[in-house]
Structure 1
Amino acid sequence: MKVNPKEFQVKGIRYILRSAEEEDARCLSEVRLQIDGETENMDREKGEAYIDEAGFKQLISEDTESARSLFLVAEVNGRIAGFARCEGSSLKRLAHKVEFGICVLKEFWGYGIGQNLLREAILWADGSGIKKISLSVLETNEKAIKLYQKHGFETEGILRKDKLLSDGRYYNTVVMGRWHGI
């Protein structure tokens, strides 16, 4: 699905949130790789589950054609600073919900990009008849958990000792959901 672009100005930075285009694929591959190396909040370490340009073109094409999926990018001065996806399913028993994921380059943290990507995804989902948005977040990512709670997400469960981080310790994953019209 595609949405109309929206412009934001936060703390002196102007950025646009828009639907991903196939021309973004190479840059998205590079941005995802960089983000995976900047934080342990992601499921992957840098280089793991690498998606190349062709892989991103495929994702963008599928998400654009599907009424149940959305792929958004945040663009700052022609550069992709982050992205978010809502991935839906064509299975009848799962067609009412989407799985949300987001990532923003560390240098652009604090400018509301993540919050605005989340807001736009929620607006799209609510307007598209999506009844539930699901996500998972590392327990130590308290800022993200508070943001999700602020936008109506509730904790549905805890996956105990779900992730092994670089400090050699295991951490929990918080599974959250937001319902609309149920």
Structure 2
Amino acid sequence: MRIRKADKGDAKSFLQFQCLLDQEATYMLFEPHERTTTVRQQRKILAEMLQADTSCIYFAVDEDEIIGYVGIYGSYLERIRHVGYLTIGIRQAYCNQGIGKQLLEKADMFAKASGVKRLELTVVKENKRAVHLYKKCGYQEEGIRKSAVRIGDVWMDELYMAKLYNY
């Protein structure tokens, strides 16, 4: 397993990975078959991110297969250019192997290199494994949105978490 930066040639494989993640991950935002992004749209999204100095995606790959990712989504707005919104996803078969920690370390390195002072994310409160990982990697809870996510017939709270950098 290795971690590498995404490029726009990854559009098709990243979209396939996201669709697999939608099917197997309980706490991700998309329901299975709800994603309507095309390869062309995905290519455009990746190209725009590659041009932005406060956005980036890293992939965890096993051989040539994407097994996990971390995305840092920055803003072009001056007042919030220092903030990156983070998303992360790992295929179920590769969980509990330290990949999430390695991806978050890459996000830390990117934040430092790009001048991002704050990485923030949201996570379903019941996703104990993810909450534990984020806390272990220095993220702190900042707030809660009650009944923000509905999975099946169950309403779940969503935590706001962030990590601040002092460089």
Shorter-chain TM-score tier: over 0.9
Tell me how far apart the structure 1 counterparts of residues 40 and 114 of structure 2 sit (CA, whole Å): 28
In structure 1, what is the equivalent of residue 160 of structure 2? 175
CA contact (8 A) 1:85 1:102 kept: yes
Kindly provide the amino acid, as one letter, of the partner of residue 157 in structure 2.
N
Which amino acid letter does the alignment assign opposite residue 113 of structure 2? G
TM-score by length of 1: 0.87
1:101 aligned to 2:93? no
Question: 2: CA distance between counterparts of 1:52 and 1:110?
Answer: 31
SS of the residue aligned with 1:68? coil
Q: Which amino acid aligns with 1:26?
A: K
Give yes or no for the alignment of 1:54 onto 2:44: no
Runs (5+) with no aligned partner, structure 2:
none
Q: Give the deviation of 1:132 after TM superposition.
A: 0.4
| Cα distance in structure 2, aligned partners of 1:170 and 1:27 | 32
Q: 1:90 maps to which residue?
A: 76
TM-score (norm 2): 0.95
Q: How does 1:61-80 map to 2 (within 5 A)?
A: 61-80=47-66
Identity of aligned residues (%): 25
Residue type at the aligned position of 2:166? G
User: What's the CA shift string for 1:88-113, capped at 9, x where partnerless?
Assistant: 00011111100000111111112222
Q: Which deviates more from structure 2 when the two are superposed, residues 156-165 or residues 45-54?
A: 45-54
Aligned residues between the structures:
167
Alpha-carbon separation, structure 1, partners of 2:5 and 2:162: 23
Q: Is the 8 A contact 1:33 1:50 kept in 2?
A: no
Which structure: greater helix fraction?
2
Equivalent position amino acid for 2:163 in 1: R
